Structure 1
């Protein structure tokens, strides 16, 4: 999702798949780096009411938009560095190997790279983060939903990738962010991500394999 894309809830009739892809793109962008000025401004004016009253994501989405309106961009940038940057081990690690194997660059990353190679995907040139960064995994899901190659971008592949490479550790990441006293904007983001992943998991559980 680029910074010019709309941040909205969409009804199922008006494009549920597009909405799913956009959410994954948004998560990828916000977990990879602080929001750009353009995305920050979009978040501040985003609609917070879901099309159907009581929709599960409405509460956490509203909290994320509320944090965007309450905080200034430099505060969010400083929070990102405090949580995920700095010298040495960060307060919160954004790589799946840490949660699955207790250290970076372990067997889960090897298996992920093999899976990405089978899908015809590879890390873009210039990207230093390994492929198991949460942003990279969300970007893969966005591609598996919105890509044009139906041999790769299909529901069965989405289900398999999500269950294997996101579902097994994403809650741990969201809990780790929420446990940080300095987390504000990113606590709201983690809550929204956790709720969205729960909806995805429930949907995939209903898919016949």
Structure 2
């Protein structure tokens, strides 16, 4: 979804690598429906005893209990629909009620100096939730050219992620039409709260 540079994960510690993994997992699950290989891999995951770890175990169980076709249908109902899905996973829409509004312009302004650019083959605006999850991962591991300090990560998170994604993930977790994606919403909600708390320390 975004243009990325070659990078080495050896430059970040284990805690940051774990953050990258969660951001990239959320990005992949929200970018497009899970295929059979991803569902199989998710079904093998095990979480620890933390609340987030338990949510990962719930996701693994949900992945094992669903099919690629069911996942695709659920994704389409939630995010695509006939004209629009039940949820609209874009920052501008969540913040203003309309697409392509000022929050998107502000995001683009902040992306440029960080070396972040949308891939030419992507049609969605950059404020899609999956793109923002990818951006956060890239700021942490340097896949946009440089590992960003915590201060830069926090500024971007506060401006473009914390402003609306916790509401989106809560809506996804509570959506009556969600089955597999309820667990995705739960992980997102919990992880956004963990990130918010960590940045405030």
Same fold (TM over 0.5): yes
CA RMSD of aligned residues (A): 1.4
Q: After the TM superposition, which segments of 4 or more aligned residues of structure 1 sit over 6 Å from their partners? A: none
1:139: Cα distance to partner? 0.4
Q: Within 2, Cα distance between the matches of 1:178 and 1:138?
A: 17
Q: Is 1:71 the equivalent of 2:66?
A: yes
Bigger relative CO (Cα 8 Å, ≥ 6 apart): 2
1:171 counterpart residue number: 166
**57, 75, 81: which one pairs with 1:80?**
75
How many residues end up aligned between the 2 structures?
188
Q: Within 1, Cα distance between the matches of 2:123 and 2:25?
A: 20
Q: Is 1:135 the equivalent of 2:124?
A: no
Q: Within 2, Cα distance between the matches of 1:29 and 1:153?
A: 22
Q: Is 1:193 the equivalent of 2:188?
A: yes
1:141-152 matched pairs, under 5 angstroms:
141-147=136-142, 149-150=145-146
Higher helix share: 2
State the Cα deviation string for residues 77-105 of structure 1 (Å, max 9, x = none).
11000110122122100001111111110
Compute the TM-score of the two structures, normalised by the length of structure 1. Answer: 0.85
1:35: Cα distance to partner? 1.3
1:40 counterpart residue number: 39
Q: Within 2, Cα distance between the matches of 1:161 and 1:45?
A: 33
Q: Is 1:94 the equivalent of 2:89?
A: yes
1:107 counterpart residue number: 102
3-state SS of paired residue (1:57): helix
1:181 counterpart residue number: 176
Structure 1 residues without counterparts, runs of 5 or longer = 1-13
State the Cα deviation string for residues 2-43 of structure 1 (Å, max 9, x = none).
xxxxxxxxxxxx711111111111110100101132221110
